[in-house]
Amino acid sequence: MPRGPAVRGRCPCAKVGAVSRIAQTPGRVLRLLVPVVIAAAVLGLFVRWPAPADSAPVVLDARPLVCLNESLEAYADSGRGWTGGDSTWSTALPGGREVFAFSDTFLSPITPPTRPPDAGFVHNSLVVRAADGQLSTITGGAAGHPDSLLAPSDRSHWYWLGAATYLDGALQIPVTEWRSSGPGSLDVTFVGSSLARFDPRDLHRPESITPLPRSRGIQWGQWVRQEGPWTYIYGVESAASGRYLRVARVTGDDLRQQFSFWTGRGWSAAEADSARVSAGVSAEFSIQRLRAGMYLLITMQDGQLGNRLTARYGPTPMGPFGSAITVYITPEAGAAGSYHDSEVYAYNAHTHPELSTPTRLVVSYNVNSLDTAPGGEVYRRVSLYRPRFIAVELGDEVGAHTQSGASPRALCP
């Protein structure tokens, strides 16, 4: 069963980190600075020096992706299942389908533009978009009594979802397990990471849930990307000084295989040898290959809650990632935002690779309020607790698009 109202509508990053001061004043997009790179020998991969600054992409445009936003909004307002949620991972499935994986999720009943205090709530769900564009919701539980799709054996714990990906003929979803450590909504403790594996023909129950490495308290699976003979699994270490990016990989594309961990110089079978790659990352982020020797890290500014999405470039899947530039300033967050509420913030920015090309990225972020109690802002304004999608156009410094042979999936039917 879902936890009590104190944690409803809160995101993983809001629960486990301090809330930063929400930025109020928009700024212009900054030029990319040359990343500082450490040359290192990698087993099976040569670490290249970063590309010159004049060859790095610049942001030409970033604006709301209206068709996808309106499609999810109309479905949520219909009350036929999912009515709001966060995380917003996605991946393509066979048969022209798309799956959106959400962590904390509101369900019906709903009375737009509000939701009643007894609105359904679970800790994770899937929304599947069929080839014809029709949306449907998958949760656990029984008819009339929905529950989280995935739940630990200890029912006082819960799962939040990581970066869902279709690899090795399966929908593979890393999950992070949490438990309450006190009476407040921020009093939660990370337990460990696991991997849920689904047959794409039946998304109602996992084939298996397999523990992932957990000796160092790292949230593995906050991003996953396959490249060449390896699949990279990115993790987040939360410390008093902030959040740090760590990198592992497996041979092939079955995430249940033995992890190797990036040490900063090479790869090790020991999780204890894992190195901090970058500081200032959010609980959710993305790393996308734009071209050879050019990888893009999308996250929130300094890894904090706020209103600013940023990009950092690196020469390898392991970084190192350079200085942040602003990609987009969310119009909703802060007292100067569209809700005119200092408690409203944006978080969880990441790309959707199956909808993107190296020059046109589809990026989502979530919006929330600090006022999450039943009857509070997330109940009075249903639009608050829903993802926003934007399209980001990249090009060279004179405004021309870089070349790309990639063809994304259709954004909207």
Q: How far apart are alpha carbons 400 and 149 in whole angstroms?
A: 45
Strand order in the sheet with 294-300: 286-291, 294-300, 308-314, 325-329
Question: What is the CATH architecture of 12-395?
Answer: 5 Propeller (2.115)
Strand ranges, E, within 139-241: 140-142, 145-147, 157-161, 165-167, 170-180, 188-198, 208-211, 218-227, 230-239
Tokens of 53: 């600054």
Under a CB-based contact definition with an 8 Å cutoff, are residues 349 and 285 in contact? yes
- Alpha carbon distances (Å) from 311 to 13, 276, 319, 336: 19, 19, 13, 23
Under a CB-based contact definition with an 8 Å cutoff, are residues 48 and 318 in contact? no
Say what the pLDDT of residue 144 is: 86
Say what the pLDDT of residue 186 is: 65
Q: How far apart are alpha carbons 130 and 217 in whole angstroms?
A: 37
Indicate the pTM of the whole model: 0.86
Domain ranges (residues) in the chain = 12-395
- Alpha carbon distances (Å) from 385 to 104, 108, 236, 329, 376: 10, 14, 24, 18, 12
DSSP one-letter code for 47: P
How does pLDDT run across 187-217, given as a tens digit for each residue? Answer: 889 999 999 999 999 999 999 999 999 999 9
Under a CB-based contact definition with an 8 Å cutoff, are residues 291 and 402 in contact? yes
Tracing tokens 């509101």 back to the chain, one arrives at 106
- Please, which pLDDT band fits residue 41 given cuts at 50, 70 and 90? very low
Q: How far apart are alpha carbons 389 and 351 in whole angstroms?
A: 9
Average pLDDT over residues 270-288: 96
